[in-house]
Amino acid sequence: MIWRYARYTVLVAYLLVLTACGSSQAPSRAEPTAGEQQTPTAGSSEQGSQPGTSGGGPASHGGPIVDQVSFIDRLRALGLNVEIVGDVQQPFLKTSGTTVRVSGGPIGEPVELQLYSYERAAQAEADAAQIGPDGSPATMMIDWLAPPHFFRAERLIVLYVGDNEQMLDLLTQVLGPQFAGR
């Protein structure tokens, strides 16, 4: 009978150790992973909350913009509101994209952007090379509703169709000069 209790005690102790270690769980994005530093940004607290949220949410990692997530992260760190609207596709790009609505800060009225994330920077570069300096794809004619503006950073292509000067200034500040557009 003592052996029975001893086995249960050992089993319970083993389960407690496994639970305490939590080795099967991946780190949450609120915590930096190996080699990544987390720095507070404008509008976020030391605990890593985003502007407009209370505690516990992920904060801007402050790193370079390489994809859709880091771009949205940077916009939010600048105090802008970013709302994901839905999926979008342009026939001359080889990946589908996401439409986001950006508002707040210096841009005035809400502005929609199309974000296209690629698995590799070379894929984004190849698609960008197919777009002429005026924003027209080499393979087709597009009648834009407003002037198109294309920006690129690593694995991300951002398309803004419009003429909001504050938005264009912000995109140039965050992503560098447009690679195509009017």
User: Does this model's pTM top 0.75?
Assistant: no
And the tokens for 67? 């994809």
Looking at residue 119, the DSSP 8-state letter turns out to be: S
Residue ranges per structural domain of the chain: 53-181
Give the burial class of 44: count Cβ atoms within 10 A of its Cβ; 0-12 exposed, 13-18 middle, 19 or more buried: buried
Could you tell me the CA-to-CA distances from 142 to 92, 114, 158 in Å, in that order?
10, 16, 17
Q: What is the pLDDT of residues 11-38, one digit of tens each?
A: 333 333 333 333 333 333 333 334 333 3
pLDDT in tens, 87-124: 999 999 999 999 999 999 888 899 999 999 999 999 99
Identify the band that residue 139 occupies on the pLDDT scale cut at 50, 70 and 90: confident
